[in-house]
Copies of this chain bind each other. A is one copy, B any other.
Amino acid sequence: MPLLLLKELPRFECLLEAAQRYPDLHPESTEAFLHLLRTTDLVFAADSRLLSQHQLSPGRFTVLMQLNRHPDLPETPATLADAAGVTRATMTGLLDTLEKDGLVRRSPAPSDRRLTLIQLTEAGTALMNRVIPEYFRNVAAMMAPLSPEERAQLVGLLQKIERNLPPSVD
């Protein structure tokens, strides 16, 4: 996604000016909020560009990552959806295209015909073996401008915000 943000964030001076018109506007908070969305949009877009070179999207990658963690332990659409924080309807769609591309395999569960077992195929495993190192190098490169102390600091600040918010999915 882009998050549908303004391409150029308003300067802080503009926020100060707008605060005169909108008393509820808190310039420092709004600035932090907009930068958070903006930076994440850029990070996410860079991540998406890397993944798209391998015919993957962040969503598909997350599913494959989940399956790759314990390859001998099959997952179901419901457990994958729950772990990923999306609806089962969404997961059905993701699995449809992953299966079509030969990266996962669906099979019935012997003991419960409501369940479908999902496993990585050999092609899926091979793809992940190629993508994962590159993915982590890309993540490290994106975070490289921060020193180790600054990364810890960033995590601390983000956790402070996070603790104050309800989870986005049940």
Interface positions of A (Cβ within 8 A of B):
1-8, 22-26, 28-33, 35-46, 58-59, 62, 66, 82-86, 132-134, 136-137, 139-140, 142-146, 148, 150-155, 157-169
From B4, B134, B142, B168, contact of A86 by CB (8 A): B4
Main secondary structure of the interface of A (DSSP, over half): helix
Among all A-B residue pairs, the 7 with the closest Cβ atoms: A45-B168, A29-B143, A40-B40, A26-B140, A4-B59, A39-B158, A25-B136
With both chains docked as a complex, state the minimum distance between the C-beta of A11 and any C-beta of chain B, in angstroms. Answer: 12
- Is the Cβ of A168 less than 8 Å from the Cβ of B4? no
Evaluate contact between B29 and A140: CB separation under 8 angstroms.
yes
**16 A-B residue pairings within 8 Å (CB atoms):** A2-B86, A2-B168, A5-B62, A7-B82, A7-B84, A22-B136, A24-B132, A24-B134, A32-B146, A35-B158, A37-B43, A38-B162, A42-B162, A45-B168, A145-B161, A145-B163
